[in-house]
Structure 1
């Protein structure tokens, strides 16, 4: 990990990977969603509405995975002072929030025909909504820390660690409390999904994961570029003041 702590070395790798991840993920996502709309079978009870799972489930997994990445990066920043940890956490926050919002939106669209309502305040839906609010709060804290200087960078890192408590709550909520949301269909070594849905879900998850990774790398490159540009402006201002 520390081998890529040097921003220049990281930027070379990120520049090499960003475009393939974005293009590959985009093409695979289009292919999977086209197959889902045109050829995926309807489910016996839910009909064609079940096809929403090819967007809903990957976005839910990646929204949770995104905050897990923020927590790991925050720990690296607080304990090991990894130079790129804070940049990585900031880069993950925005796509993580977008995926959490997509999860909630597609869940509502799926819930209306399945449950007869757009929304219920049960454990799974409420904890996912809390995750979206956590993302928005982290983005605000990180922006404030950037404006105020490095002295405040520990605050979003601590918040990133504390917010990770919500991840197991999301995961186990359908087991801990009564819920309209179905329990997990995929567990360790076992799946209750029919093969076409399982294969399509894995393909869509890969597609969205590639897109997520590409966006994160692009955002890290942009954040580092902004930081370097700001540093150059400060040096020029100091040199001008000395003259």
Structure 2
């Protein structure tokens, strides 16, 4: 599919998601309109973890095949994951201020998410380190695999330890009304299309940049 068409479809999907959030989903009785932050917070958290899973898969694929395109995909997914998880932390803080009357609490889910963000931010810093391209790709692939250890901890932290964070992925959608669950699923799907377009665009940019760098090295030799 043409990338421009995919971007147009994604824009429409995001607009539909906003309709479901603001017009279809009912206003939560306790927190009111502030609760609607959740419909943005949750999809970004979900797709951040999917991003890091993609980093894990393609890092392993690079170690097995030594195909540079796998390294490019891992790098693109990591960038999107860091942005999405950072925004999930920010929107979660805004939501937490209304729900818990504090901007931040060292809750297991929040703490493991913050650690995850720092680990993958370090991964991105490593990708800009001054070493040979082949060695940098190899080191990043190893880190991309090791770093994934924290992702399941984020997912299961609310179950493993005592947490004030709501377990929305639990039984029956965390007790949400059917309209709320529908709005959430539509928003997750819309953000999924957005994530895919971002991944394709960033992969293309990284690939072209890598080809340009390789050509410059070849010309200098």
Q: Specify if TM > 0.5.
A: yes
1:112 paired to 2:103: no
Secondary structure of 1:225's aligned partner: helix
- Contact kept in structure 1, 2:24 and 2:179, CA below 8 Å: no
Larger gyration radius, structure 1 or structure 2: 1
113, 117, 122: which one aligns with 1:128: 113
195, 201, 206: which one aligns with 1:218: 201
Aligned equivalents of 2:187 and 2:7: distance in 1? 14
Aligned to 1:181: 165
180, 187, 198: which one aligns with 1:204: 187
- Contact kept in structure 2, 1:36 and 1:51, CA below 8 Å: yes
1:36/1:152 CA distance change after superposition, 3 Å: closer
Aligned to 2:12: 27
1:17/1:96 CA distance change after superposition, 3 Å: farther
Aligned residues: 220
- Contact kept in structure 1, 2:120 and 2:147, CA below 8 Å: no
Secondary structure of 2:127's aligned partner: helix
Aligned equivalents of 1:166 and 1:235: distance in 2? 39
| Aligned ranges 1:15-164 → 2 under 5 Å | 16-144=1-129, 148-164=132-148
1:200/1:135 CA distance change after superposition, 3 Å: same
> TM-score of the superposition, structure 1-length normalised?
0.84
Aligned equivalents of 1:231 and 1:154: distance in 2? 17
Q: Mark the runs of 5 or more structure 2 residues left unpaired by the alignment.
A: none
- Contact kept in structure 2, 1:36 and 1:54, CA below 8 Å: yes
Q: Mark the runs of 5 or more structure 1 residues left unpaired by the alignment.
A: 1-15, 239-243
Aligned equivalents of 2:149 and 2:31: distance in 1? 33
RMSD: 1.8
> TM-score of the superposition, structure 2-length normalised?
0.92
- Contact kept in structure 1, 2:77 and 2:199, CA below 8 Å: yes
Aligned equivalents of 1:20 and 1:120: distance in 2? 42
Aligned equivalents of 1:20 and 1:210: distance in 2? 12
Aligned to 1:8: none
Secondary structure of 2:29's aligned partner: coil
